[in-house]
Every structure is written in structure tokens, then in C-alpha cells.
Amino acid sequence: MSEPLGERRAIVGRESLVRETIAGLIIVGLLASIAFPLASDQRKKAVDARVKQDLTAVEESVAEWVTTYDELPPMRIDGTAVYLDDIQMVTLHEGTMLSELQGTSTSTWCLTARNPAGKHAAHPGFRYKASAEKVDTGTC
């Protein structure tokens, strides 16, 4: 005995719906597998941008000191605070690790910075060399 035509259409319709739902889930899964690494990479780039911002802020403070006093400042780092001659000049973003001021003259000093959560978390991180007058990657 055969099924009535209406029931047969209902069964075919449900099978089609199941196939479409599975296909939709597969597509969503593929898109998510592509989007997640991109979003993760963007977060690391944002952390690196904050490290560069911190390094630039410290560099500008040191450069201003050098211009005013024609000597390298005594620099101290206490947590996220950067002091030049015991005056707080810059507050670093959370996680930014800044090196001590390196160099012996007003034209050859250098600073490095990095953040473990950034894309350039591993050595060498970012640096500012007074002789190059720009932030780039590398060591002093």
C-alpha cells in the first residue's frame, strides 16, 4: 500500500529541511574557523599598537629632557609608571615591558619595549634608537 500524496510530500520536505540545516551549519562552522584566527591576530596587533604608543610617549619625554638639559635623564620604571628624575612622565598600558634607558650620549640612546600578549611578544620586540629617530623592531 502506498502512502497518500500529502504525507509523502511532508516526508520529502522534512528530509530537504534537514539537509539544508546541516549544510547551513557546515558553512557557519567554516566561516567561524576562518574568522577566529583573524580576530585573534587583530587583538595581538592592537596590543602591539599600544606598545608602540607607550614607546613613543617615553621617547618623546626623553627627547624633551635631552633637548632641555643636553644630557640623558635618570629614568626609573615602577610598575606602569615611568619616571624621569623622579617626575612621572608616562603611564604604560598594562603588560608593556620597557627596558632601561641604554646608551651613553644624547644622540645614541635607545629603548626597547614589548608585551607578552602582542604579536611581537618574543625578543626583540620594538625599539627606539635616537640615531634612527623612529620606532621599529629590533634590539638596541
Q: What is the secondary structure of the chain as a DSSP string?
A: -PPPHHHHHHHHHHHHHHHHHHHHHHHHHHHHHHHHHHHHHHHHHHHHHHHHHHHHHHHHHHHHHHHHHSSPPPEEEETTEEEETTEEEEEPPTT-EEPPPB-SSTTS-EEEEE-TTSTT-STT-EEEETTTTEEEES--
> Which structural domain range is residue 115 located in?
5-137
- Record the pTM: 0.72
The count of structural domains within the chain is 1
Q: Per residue in 23-80, pLDDT tens?
A: 788 887 777 777 666 667 888 999 999 999 999 999 999 999 999 999 999 999 999 9
